[in-house]
Amino acid sequence: MNLPIGELTTIIAAYGAILATLGFALSLMLGINEIKKQKPKMKVKFSLGRLIDADGTNSEILILIEAHNTRTLPVIITGFGFLEKKGNKTQLLNPYLFKLPLPLNSHRKVTAYYACRWFRENRIKNDSVGFYFADEEGNLWKVKFSEKDKKTWENAKVDGYMIEWDQSIKNYYRKDY
C-alpha cells in the first residue's frame, strides 16, 4: 500500500493530535483528582465511655465524639456542637477537655466528651439529631444519632457526677469523691 506523502503526513498529524488530546485530558483528570485529595476530610463517629474515680465507686457515662482527619493536610477545628432537626446548629463554646480552635494533623484523631447527664438536661435534646465538627473553611463534618441513642443517653445510670463547672475559673474540673 503506497500512500502519497501528503496523506501520510495528515494521518501522522491526526494521530499525534489525538494522542496529545488524550494525554491532556488524562493530565487534567489526574490534576483534579490530586486537588480533591488535598481538600480537608474528616470522619466523625460516636460511642459511649465512662469516667471512673480511683476507687471505682463513682463514675459518669460520657458520649465520646471522635473526629478523624483522613487527608494529608492538617485541619483546624473551629467548632463543635449539635445538629438540630430544622438545620440549625448549636455550638458548644467551651467543650470539656477540648480547646478551640484545635489543629488536627494528618491521619490524627481527636475526641470530644459530653456527659450523658448534660444531654439529659439539655433543652434542645428533643430537636437534636446529630453532632458536628466545623473547620476553618466552613466545612461541617457530621454524624447523626437515632432516637434509640438518645433514650440510651437519657437513661444512663449515674453513680455520682465526676465533671463539674467551676464558676471562678470558668472551666471544667474532674471531681473526685
Cell numbers 496523506 correspond to what residue? 7
pLDDT in tens, the chain (177 residues): 576 877 888 988 999 999 999 999 999 999 999 888 888 899 999 999 988 877 777 788 999 999 999 988 899 999 999 999 988 999 998 888 888 999 999 999 999 999 999 999 988 899 999 999 999 999 999 999 999 999 999 998 877 777 888 888 887 777 755
Tell me, what's the pLDDT at 128?
95
Is the pTM of the predicted complex or chain greater than 0.85? no
Can you give the pLDDT at residue 173?
Answer: 76
pLDDT at residue 55, as a whole number = 76
- Residue 114 confidence (pLDDT): 94
Q: What is the pLDDT of residue 107?
A: 93
Phi, psi of 152 (to 5 degrees): -60, -45
Beta strands across the sheet bearing 42-52? 42-52, 59-69, 109-115
Q: Where are the alpha helices (DSSP H) in the chain?
A: 5-38, 116-121, 147-154
CB 4 within 8 A of CB 25: no
Q: Domain ranges in the chain?
A: 1-38, 42-174
d(CA 20, CA 164): 67
